[in-house]
Chain A
């Protein structure tokens, strides 16, 4: 089974034993559970031993699904959520880097994979919903800027530790979040690393609605019904109209962020923080 995301960027060959690309070994398990019901694609981050961390293969799998669904008339929407306690603890950096022989290749693969998913989100023409069911970290937060509707349970939290780790803001959030939340709140989150509660994220307009824990089942059912009734031609046309004005700047921002990210991943600052991080983990 050949799984190709973008022919100019990243080709992954899956065989029975391992996925390889320039000496990088990736996990066989893509770390998601997906299903399709009445035209609604559900993608659940599912890596319970690692707090639903997103690995390179997760990024690629999600990108593949989104890109296929984009042109599949039977699919009208995608809902992202997490299984268990976490939404996602974000990019599985340490996991990705542990298995490297060639650091440059590891970094290139990791960034390409994340970019494939972010690009797929940016280009997806149908409805994108995020249901943040618990703590969301890093890309789990920034992807909210690229989706259409974001709901959070009461126990959801939002945290972006880029500065602490020596990494950089991604998924267009460097430009989108100040617009959504206002500068001062966006800076608290992105530059200061403040963890936002569901209520704070709602008040900052990052989240459309906070769903009480007990109401989640009926909320999701209601959401499915609403999606089922959507006039899809009208929806796609209007989403296109709304994205038109920001799309070009968004892609520019996205590529600019990519450059910063690649630099940061090679920096001493990041390496030192990674060593500290891995040291601390090994002591647990």
Chain B
């Protein structure tokens, strides 16, 4: 059962590591569905305090596994509807998760790896982390409620460089734009994670959950509207000629490697 993740639990802290290392930690339909299941179960498991997402090896994640979409375009197998269903389950699980969500971006992060940051509570990055969202290039649309959340976090001019122009943002850019709260030097990661675990173990959970709920009610009351609207745009885009053409180009380039 290779879902592309390594999962562990220590003192109430769930760690989910993207580890499809042969494919730059890409996230498949199975990955999304498995993570959603874990998050939804953990949400009501009193032993769980929080979830840390990170990546194994060089990459955080190269994002949604578009090869499945490629196969559909080339009429081989799989459906685009599956991809969208799986991504939606993942995003919804993040939106609804009441406990602490931490992301440690350990390397290049692409697509959903970036947009999920708007839905998580604490984002840390190592110096070599980068953030890139190729939605416009591929002819698909921005997701993870980041059309609403990222401009609010980063300001529209910085969010747009990334989301609309497709520029790669460095860890330092991300820090300056308030997307990331701290940059962790490579050598300090182990200590950092240990300290983080200790902090999480000492959290007053009932109060944390109550306050996170309070904050989200105010700042994210239109979130589900945004989510639905984004999904409508995404359905259309995934079935568009523009996307199919870009996938064909992508397939061609890959086959030449």
Q: Which residues of A contact B (CB under 8 A)?
A: 127, 144-145, 147-150, 176, 179-181, 202-209, 226, 230-231, 233-235, 237-242, 244-245
Contact A208 B226 (CB under 8 A): no
Q: Give me 13 A-to-B residue pairs in the complex whose CB atoms sit less than 8 angstroms apart, sorted by A's number.
A: A149-B160, A180-B156, A205-B154, A226-B165, A230-B165, A231-B137, A234-B136, A234-B140, A234-B237, A235-B164, A239-B164, A242-B142, A242-B164
Tell whether B178 is near chain A: CB-to-CB under 8 Å: yes
Kindly list chain A residues whose C-beta atoms are within 8 Å of the C-beta of B201. Answer: none
Contact A181 B155 (CB under 8 A): yes
Contact B160 A180 (CB under 8 A): no
Q: Which 5 A-B pairs have the closest CB atoms?
A: A205-B155, A208-B157, A234-B136, A180-B155, A234-B139
Q: Tell me the B162-177 residues at the A interface (CB within 8 Å).
A: 163-165, 167, 176-177
Contact B157 A206 (CB under 8 A): yes
Tell whether B124 is near chain A: CB-to-CB under 8 Å: no
Contact A237 B237 (CB under 8 A): yes
A149 to B246, CA, bound (A): 25
Kindly list chain B residues whose C-beta atoms are within 8 Å of the C-beta of A231. Answer: 136-139, 242, 246
Kindly list chain B residues whose C-beta atoms are within 8 Å of the C-beta of A238. Answer: 135-136, 141-142, 147, 163-164
> CB < 8 Å: which of B163, B178, B233 contacts A237?
B233
Number of B positions contacting A (CB below 8 A)? 36
Given A205-B154, A238-B141, A245-B222; 11 other pairs, CB 8 A cutoff: A144-B157, A149-B161, A179-B152, A207-B157, A208-B157, A208-B161, A226-B165, A231-B242, A234-B138, A239-B164, A242-B160
Contact A235 B136 (CB under 8 A): yes
Q: Which residues of B contact A (CB under 8 A)?
A: 135-142, 147-148, 151-152, 154-158, 160-161, 163-165, 167, 176-178, 222, 225-226, 229-230, 233, 237, 240, 242, 246
Contact A241 B230 (CB under 8 A): yes
Contact B160 A244 (CB under 8 A): no
Contact B154 A233 (CB under 8 A): no
A contact patch SS? helix
Given A231-B246, A234-B137, A234-B139, are A245 and B148 neighbors across the interface (CB < 8 Å)? yes
Name the distance in Å between B182's Cβ and chain A's nearest Cβ. Answer: 17
When C-beta atoms are compared, the residue in chain B nearest to A152 turns out to be B157
Kindly list chain A residues whose C-beta atoms are within 8 Å of the C-beta of B178. Answer: 205
Name the distance in Å between B18's Cβ and chain A's nearest Cβ. Answer: 25
Contact A208 B147 (CB under 8 A): no
Contact A149 B165 (CB under 8 A): yes
A245 to B163, CA, bound (A): 16
The count of A-to-B residue pairs whose CB atoms sit within 8 angstroms is: 96
When C-beta atoms are compared, the residue in chain B nearest to A146 turns out to be B156
A206 to B230, CA, bound (A): 25
Most central of A181, A209, A230, A231 by chain B CB within 10 Å: A231
Kindly list chain B residues whose C-beta atoms are within 8 Å of the C-beta of A207. Answer: 157
Contact B138 A148 (CB under 8 A): no
A207 to B173, CA, bound (A): 12
Name the distance in Å between A130's Cβ and chain B's nearest Cβ. Answer: 9
Contact B161 A241 (CB under 8 A): no
Name the distance in Å between B130's Cβ and chain A's nearest Cβ. Answer: 16
Contact B226 A205 (CB under 8 A): no
Contact A233 B164 (CB under 8 A): no
Contact A230 B136 (CB under 8 A): yes
A176 to B233, CA, bound (A): 24
Given A241-B142, A241-B230, A242-B147, are A203 and B136 neighbors across the interface (CB < 8 Å)? no
A204 to B142, CA, bound (A): 24
Contact A241 B154 (CB under 8 A): no
Contact A148 B147 (CB under 8 A): no
Kindly list chain A residues whose C-beta atoms are within 8 Å of the C-beta of B141. Answer: 234, 237-238, 241
A253 to B165, CA, bound (A): 27
A176 to B222, CA, bound (A): 17
Contact A242 B163 (CB under 8 A): yes
Given A149-B165, A205-B178, are A234 and B157 neighbors across the interface (CB < 8 Å)? no
Contact A127 B164 (CB under 8 A): yes
When C-beta atoms are compared, the residue in chain A nearest to B160 turns out to be A148
Contact A149 B157 (CB under 8 A): yes
Contact A234 B160 (CB under 8 A): no
When C-beta atoms are compared, the residue in chain A nearest to B177 turns out to be A205
Kindly list chain B residues whose C-beta atoms are within 8 Å of the C-beta of A234. Answer: 135-141, 237, 242, 246
Name the distance in Å between B145's Cβ and chain A's nearest Cβ. Answer: 10
Name the distance in Å between A143's Cβ and chain B's nearest Cβ. Answer: 12
A239 to B228, CA, bound (A): 17
Name the distance in Å between A224's Cβ and chain B's nearest Cβ. Answer: 12
When C-beta atoms are compared, the residue in chain A nearest to B150 turns out to be A242
Kindly list chain B residues whose C-beta atoms are within 8 Å of the C-beta of A145. Answer: 156
Kindly list chain A residues whose C-beta atoms are within 8 Å of the C-beta of B161. Answer: 149, 208-209
Contact B147 A241 (CB under 8 A): yes
Kindly list chain A residues whose C-beta atoms are within 8 Å of the C-beta of B229. Answer: 241, 244-245
When C-beta atoms are compared, the residue in chain A nearest to B133 turns out to be A238
